[in-house]
Structure 1
Amino acid sequence: MGFAWGLSALALLVGVGLGVRALIDPAWAAKFVRLKADEQGGGQAEFRATYGGVFLGLHIVALLFTLLYFRSGAYVVGVTATGASAAIAAGWAGAAFGRGVSIWRDGADTPFNRMSMGVEIAMAFAIAMPWLAWFAL
């Protein structure tokens, strides 16, 4: 079970890092997701908000719950951390599913999309490890 929690914490830390980087450098976020900000001034804010703030907020809360569980082992905190991780993992899995639909329906079968879908699946699996391990017990 310790491995599951450790892997989840590591993946959540990656999510925190992505959020911080996007918050600081929205041009990097735009390039990373292959989108372009509009010329009306709202585009950079959208990258900071969505790829920065949302990523940072979601992942850091789940990471804090996980670290509290590591520290205290409290059952309620562990359940909360497991639920938060499951919800975030579902988001990563949903992103992979959406990318898969795009590959299938839009003819977007590119090395970038295949690699991105693989990363999204890996992040979903890693973040969900405590939840999956809980069901395996």
Structure 2
Amino acid sequence: MEMVLLPTVLAALVGCAMGGASLLVPRWGASVVRLQPDPRWKGGWSEFRASYGGAFLLGHAAVLLTYAMRFQAGEAALMGTGFAMGALWMGMAIGRVVSMVADDREYETRTAYNYVAVGFESLMGLALWAPFLAHIGR
């Protein structure tokens, strides 16, 4: 394996594991994101299984599939899927930082958890972007 692909594959495996865990045990996913279904509306657990479970699982599995098929599909396929999933993680980090700045006074969002989460989300995003970033300047 090209060393530049290792962070992407590892991040995709972590994302698959997180997605699979949320799909099978939605309470785990809910606890990680510190949310719970609104008791006024039925079906809330389906959202955790769908977005944090199925979407995360299959989105990261697409990265792993394009890695496995990179010789048939070409490196651009891996760059594309890795870039898309990396953008998802970077978007989460950006949204969290915006919340920490804009919402802290009212909701106390500058917590240790959120600082660690920004680091984790940024690391996942950069790892998934590794093939794209390595390609810049070639």
Same fold by TM-score, threshold 0.5 exceeded? yes
Instruction: Normalising by structure 1, report the TM-score.
Output: 0.92
Matched, 1:55 2:52: no
User: Partner residue of 2:12?
Assistant: 12
1:41 Cα offset (Å): 3.1
RMSD between superposed Cα atoms in Å: 1.3
1:60-116 Cα deviation digits (max 9, x unpaired): 0111101222xxx34x43111111110110110010000000000011110000000
User: Partner residue of 2:33?
Assistant: 33
1:10-53 Cα deviation digits (max 9, x unpaired): 10010000000000000111111000122333111010001001
User: Partner residue of 2:100?
Assistant: 103
Unaligned segments of structure 1, at least 5 residues: none
User: Partner residue of 2:67?
Assistant: 66
Instruction: Give structure 1 regions of 4+ aligned residues with deviation exceeding 2 angstroms.
Output: 38-41
Share of identical aligned residues, percent?
37
User: Partner residue of 1:83?
Assistant: 80
- CA distance in 2 between partners of 1:12 and 1:18 (Å): 10
Instruction: Normalising by structure 2, report the TM-score.
Output: 0.91
